Copies of this chain bind each other. A is one copy, B any other.
Amino acid sequence: MSEPRLSVRVQVEDFDPGALQDSLLAGAAGEGAVATFTGYVRRSNEGENIASMRLEHYPGMTEKSIAGIMAEAAGRWPLLAAAVVHRVGLLVPGERIVWVGVSSAHREAAFSACEFVMDYLKTSAPFWKKEVGPGGERWVSARASDDARAGRW
């Protein structure tokens, strides 16, 4: 089996999940299974409405750590391709924030790798969310449940 094609993008711009899925398959048209995850900015958190959200990251380390996570996934499961797009900057509720897509000949591998990458994006990639609501700005707290999920792999 040839090396899986891995790609990471951190960008301010919105993205198109359908086009990303097409790109994931480019050059090696559909074979078996594609699992994807799209995250959206929540409309409320802990009961407070969110007016908007600002995402900060650590340029350089972000891309490097996500590439590392995807390489680890490719070592655990037989993947054909995997891609991550993560937005930064100012986002409003309902907007897309992250997309993970994984292609594999086996659906179990596609699902597992997609969820694995998402768990690590939540717990290890250097992104920070700051919510801007009626009560002012506040940094989002890390969720212990995310760490617990990542720890199970």
Contacts and interface: CB of A to CB of B under 8 A. Distances in A.
Contacts of A134: none
A95 B30 contact: yes
B118 A107 contact: yes
Contacts of A87: none
8 contacts: A29-B40, A30-B40, A30-B41, A30-B95, A37-B110, A107-B118, A111-B111, A111-B115
A16 interface: yes
Interface band, chain A: 20 to 34
Copies of this subunit = 2
Given A17-B17, A21-B18, A40 B31 contact: yes
Max count, chain B CB within 10 A of own CB: residue among A35, A41, A105, A108:
A35
Contact of A32 (B17, B30, B34, B40): B40
Interface in A55-110: 94-96, 105, 107-108, 110
A33 interface: yes
Contacts of A96: 30
Interface string A1-19: 0000000000000001111
